[in-house]
Amino acid sequence: MAQTAPAPNPLKRPDMHGGDRIDGASWASRSAAWGVHGAAATAHPLATLAAIETLKKGGSAIDAAIAANACLGLLEPISSGIGGDCFVMLWDPKTNRVVGLNGSGRSPRALTLETQRARAHDGHIWKYGATSVSVPGAVDAWWTLHQRYGKLKWAELFQPAITHAEEGAPVTQNVAYYVAGSYRAFTNPANGLEESDNFKRIWAPDGRTPREGEVFRNPALADTYRKIAAGGRDAFYQGEIADRIEAYFKRIGGWMTKADLAAHHSEWTQPIVTNYRGVDVYGLAPNSQGLSTLQALNILETFDLKAMGFQTTASIHHQVEAKRLAFEDRARWFADPDFSKTPIDWLNSKDYARERAKLIRPDAILTPVHPGQAPSHGDTTYFSVADKDGMMVSIIQSNYRGMGSGLMPDGLGFMFQDRGELFALTDGHPNIYAPGKRPFQTIIPGFAVRDGAPWLAFGVMGGDMQPQGQAQIIIDMVDHGLDLQAAGDSPRWHHEGSSEPTGEEQQGVGILRLESGVPEVTRKGLIDLGWKMGPSDGGFGGYQAIQRWPGRYEAATEMRKDGVALAY
């Protein structure tokens, strides 16, 4: 019998692009939102609405961010949740400075390096299951922020999320797609999860995950939120929730204990900063990868990207090379500062950037790429909120690798992160696994200051895409003069194959992926230079941002996510 070719999918048309706009960038998906009192931009409309409603009740930007984040843990579980970590940068209008918070948790103290190595997969920590779980830092980060900057009562902040969890909310397109992928991963026996029944009980009780538009409820998470609302951070780290977490890991043969949870506390930090063509760009120090954004920008500042042109072969080539140089340092040096000292001042210096920039050739690809030699003395959710008092919050919170480890504690309605996967197992590596140690972290909020005033709270979620995406946003706005929305919707590049802090070596020149909007002449020019092209795979991040103007805010989100930006 003759085989008939499958009918083409009418939605997959690489030759088609968005419709024409009467003003602004032709590729922009929408215009930005403007307001004088406050603004919020998140990856889910209901989370953005919760933030705006919190601001309207007199809440601070921190109150609104916590309310939004609690909603996202339910509404966007593919990227966030109270089983994950949280990093924050904010503009404090009372002190007129950028403040940082590291809300990342540590590895279980009972889990040894020897056990990790015995259970490793291809020389690396397994990406799912109990060996990948570290202490969740999100709830303590919220509490720490609220203690200093909150205006409304703590319990009020959880009411929108509790209501959505009980009544249910329709599942968005991205969430439906990625939850289905997580279901396949968590129920695959080859992935070795200790158990997946709790995940299936909540997300696939009828043998399938919810489709776009179907209403999803999570009463177990609503009950957990009620306990946190009533008891604060101690309810999670020392109370009934902690008891149930410890009992769960004992039941499945894991290592997390109530003592591990009780010992966790977030840390206020001083962000690192560099000046890029008159704009002060901030990042969080390791164990975060924020320094990678600054290093790439320092290198690129030595080149005239504006003269090279927007979305040209020369511009993207230089940007990718700067990324590769920065990422070799990331792989060599980034780790928990309590265990290993990263030479931050040297790595972030303009002198070092000029040395590294000399390695970049306009007509050839540098290979191999090496990290610098220090002197001897030497899929995540992003959202931003701003309030009437001038506070701007840049916050990123994640379970890592989509929904996380695949493990959900009995009856609590959330999943644990798998950040522990990002430790190395190589002797002598700064990021080598150790009990009670924080793993290298990919999640990074972004913040920029212009002329001494807060200018931009922004982020681009998505693993190693984050510093690459952050640098592209700054370049688009500073070098090419794009507005907030156009910068987010501008076609992006994503380079893979650099060395990793997990001990993986660089893979030749790696793989360069370009979004379909990049001009074809640029793509051809990059191929002619020798770049190996991979297909566009949707891994170009998810952008939210708020820009401060005199007396008003501009807020933007982008076409790659399900979110919305609002201001009032």
Q: How far apart are CA 510 and CA 492, in angstroms?
A: 17
Contact criterion met (CB below 8 Å) for 155 and 230? yes
CA-atom Rg of the chain in angstroms: 23
What 3-state class would DSSP assign to 509? Answer: coil
Q: How far apart are CA 10 and CA 428, in angstroms?
A: 53
3-state per-residue secondary structure call for 401-418: CCCCCCCCCCCCCCCCCC
Per-residue CA distances from 427 to 113, 329, 370, 433, 500 (Å): 10, 18, 19, 9, 15
Per-residue CA distances from 401 to 10, 464, 552 (Å): 30, 11, 36
Q: How many residues appear in the chain?
A: 568
Q: How far apart are CA 235 and CA 245, in angstroms?
A: 12
Q: How far apart are CA 18 and CA 33, in angstroms?
A: 20
Active-site pick, 144, 209, 257, 380: 380
DSSP 266: -
Match 């200790």 to its residue by tokens: 194
Per-residue CA distances from 96 to 92, 93, 99, 311, 565 (Å): 6, 5, 9, 36, 25
Residue type present at position 360: I
Contact criterion met (CB below 8 Å) for 410 and 198? yes
Contact criterion met (CB below 8 Å) for 141 and 86? yes
**Catalytic-residue membership of 380:** yes
Beta carbons within 8 Å of 22's beta carbon, 6+ residues apart? none
Q: Is 380 left (phi over 0), alpha (psi -120 to 50) or beta?
A: left
Contact criterion met (CB below 8 Å) for 356 and 299? yes
Q: Which long-range contacts (CB under 8 A, 24 or more apart) does 525-534 make?
A: 525/312, 525/313, 525/314, 526/313, 526/316, 526/317, 529/313, 529/317, 529/363, 529/364, 529/365, 530/364, 530/365, 531/317, 531/320, 531/365, 532/508, 534/496
Contact criterion met (CB below 8 Å) for 197 and 251? no
Match 């309207």 to its residue by tokens: 56
Beta carbons within 8 Å of 454's beta carbon, 6+ residues apart? 91, 98, 390, 392, 447, 548
Q: At what angle do helices 61-75 and 219-237 cross, to 10 degrees?
A: 130
Q: How far apart are CA 444 and CA 433, in angstroms?
A: 21
* Residues recognised as catalytic: 380
